[in-house]
Amino acid sequence: MIIFRAIFSPFRALRRLWRRSLLFRVTMSTLILSSIVVTVLGFSLLSRVTTGLLDAKETASVGEASAGLGEAQRLLDAANTGPATPSQSRLVDSVITTLGSRSGSPATFEVLLLSSNGDDDAPERGTNLVAVSSIPIDLRDSIQDTQRQSWTFAPIVFLDGRSVPGLIVGAPLTVPTVGPYELYYLFPLAQEQETLDLVSSSVVGTGIVLVLLVAIVTLLVTRQVVVPVREAARIAHRFSSGKLSERMQVKKEDDLAQLAQSFNEMAKNLATQIRQLEELSLVQQRFVSDVSHELRTPLTTIRMAADVMYEERSQFDPATSRSVELLQNQLDRFEALLVDLLEISRFDAGAAVLDLERIDLVPLIERVITSTEPLAERNNLRVRFAAYERPCFVECDPRRIDRVVRNLVDNAIEHANEVGVSIELGGNESAISLTVRDYGVGLHPGEASLVFSRFWRADKARARTTGGTGLGLAIALEDTRLHAGWLEAWGEPGVGACFRLTLPRQAGGTINSPALALGDERDEHDEHDERDYTASPRMNAVNDFNHLGEPPWMRSEL
């Protein structure tokens, strides 16, 4: 295992560098592409040079062999018409000597005269100890079959063990009083090989130098672009961290300088707008806090008077009695709104703290369901609950989690249809999840990230049956964030909506993954009893949801 890690560690480092460094990626891409281009061009050049040298050598060698063959045939014919015919050995030796003298010094070719009959008594001669094994069997067979001149490229072997590349040209030759022979010219290609080696080394060396120079030039040119981009990324990162005074340096007048200038203008405008928004937000928070506190005193006085009138409403005439009841109901709504505004002001001021306890969520959820039964009965629907972990312990602030669950259940009952509301509770090693699912009007695309906004309503013309303030889900989201949890929403028009609360089991812990899926998990016509509702949840992920409680940078959206 250690060996594999040591082997693959450099590759992983290069892979990380390739993903993270634009300079490295551009330089290596140019280096690889340049290497491919230089390699293709080098092979093409070497192929053309090799073909040219061998074609020239082949033409000259075949011409030399043809001339030598004619000279040998004339020599043999002259010897045959003379007054005295020399012996076979002397005749063959004279041919080899005459042809060998034409080679020059140093020898540009070797000559080999072989008998075609394979007769051991027939003399065979060659120059400079050239071996008979130099002649390929295929070449001999071709000459004997066609009785025409033929040639091929093959190694030239000498009796002393040396071997050099060469071109072998052969032709049939008739020796009087002896019979058919084959005359072979063997042209060493050592000089051509040296030329090709020189050209190859030059091409390879030039290619390597060219590729390195291209890589260096690419590195230098790319740096001129990448360095300003890196500087812009660094400044943007510092700017996003809250250092609004960061700016790029403008040194030249080229395109990158214009980019830097535009970036600085954008940063300046953003800084101005951010400061304005921060000031407006502070004014808004201060206004909400001040108004909430200032309204408590007159509201208390009005509440006391309204309570006295409400207790004595039986003594009033019907119209006055009804007015007193309406006044009491509206005071209840106004007091609830004031409480929510005070809670929001605490969140804005950073004064909200947790009173942690280790509790079982199952009884808490059951109490919430029991308290919402009158509302469910008025809407003629059922609330079903399934707990896949009993008991289900978590470290949390019970008051705040009770408020979150109550808001989710009230909201689901308000928007549900006759199918009812399904509540599920489950857990894994790192977290517990609670899903509250209704099958009502649902949410349109993009609304899943808006349901937690303050005072937001999907249908602004809809009359609210529960007398809500429009702050319940916003407070629920803030309570969830205090616990380092996630509060997510999903919905489809006409299908329904689902809210998922995920909390770490330990306060300040990390959530690896939710314990329950988010989305449409149930058959809309399921008729199980709420305490026997044990169908398994769907555990595959749903794509179109928003982790509103997880990333801290999304707080600016609310």
What is the DSSP secondary-structure string of 474-535?
Answer: HHHHHHHHHTT-EEEEEEETTTEEEEEEEEESSTT----S-SS--S--S-TT----TTS--P
Within 8 A by CB and 6+ apart from 211, the residues are 31, 34, 35, 38
pLDDT in tens, the chain (558 residues): 566 566 667 777 777 877 777 778 888 888 888 889 999 998 999 899 989 988 999 999 999 999 999 888 888 877 766 555 567 788 888 888 888 888 887 888 999 988 888 766 778 888 888 899 999 999 999 998 999 999 999 999 998 888 999 999 999 988 877 788 899 999 999 888 888 899 999 999 998 998 889 888 888 888 877 777 777 778 777 777 777 777 777 776 666 677 777 878 888 888 888 778 777 767 766 766 666 667 777 878 887 888 888 888 888 888 888 888 888 878 877 777 777 777 777 777 777 788 899 999 999 999 999 988 988 888 889 999 999 988 999 999 998 899 899 989 998 998 888 888 999 999 998 899 999 999 888 888 878 878 888 777 665 544 444 445 677 888 888 889 888 899 999 988 888 899 999 999 988 888 888 889 887 544 433 433 333 333 223 222 222 333 333 332 222 222
Task: Write down the pLDDT at residue 425.
Answer: 93
* Tokens linked to 540: 């595959």
**Would 250 be classed as within a structural domain?**
no
Determine the Cα–Cα distance for residues 26 and 214; give it in Å rounded to an integer. Answer: 12
Q: Are strands 357-360 and 179-188 parallel, antiparallel or unpaired?
A: unpaired
- The residue type of 352 is A
What per-residue string of b and e applies to 375-401 under the rule 16 or more CB within 10 Å gives b?
bbeebebbbbbbbeeeebebbbbeebb
Could you say which of 327, 347, 367 is where a domain stops? 347
Task: Write down the pLDDT at residue 258.
Answer: 77
Residues 43 and 123 in one domain: yes
Residues 189 and 265 in one domain: no
Residues 210 and 310 in one domain: no
Residues 417 and 494 in one domain: yes
Task: Write down the pLDDT at residue 366.
Answer: 93
Task: Write down the pLDDT at residue 360.
Answer: 92
Residues 267 and 402 in one domain: no
Range of the domain at 226: 1-244
Could you say which of 299, 325, 347 is where a domain stops? 347
Task: Write down the pLDDT at residue 365.
Answer: 94
Residues 234 and 264 in one domain: no
**Would 500 be classed as within a structural domain?**
yes
CB 460 within 8 A of CB 509: no
Total domains in the chain come to 3
pTM: 0.47
Residues 392 and 303 in one domain: no
* Tokens linked to 210: 């060219």
Question: For residue 259, what is the domain's CATH number?
Answer: 1.10.287.130
Residues 16 and 145 in one domain: yes
**Would 249 be classed as within a structural domain?**
no
Residues 327 and 453 in one domain: no
Could you say which of 347, 371, 405 is where a domain stops? 347
Task: Write down the pLDDT at residue 355.
Answer: 85
Residues 333 and 379 in one domain: no
Residues 331 and 198 in one domain: no
CA 230 and chain centroid, separation = 21
Residues 211 and 321 in one domain: no
**Would 67 be classed as within a structural domain?**
yes
Task: Write down the pLDDT at residue 1.
Answer: 54
Within 8 A by CB and 6+ apart from 457, the residues are 470
CB atoms within 10 A of CB 336: 15
Within 8 A by CB and 6+ apart from 246, the residues are 235, 238, 239, 267
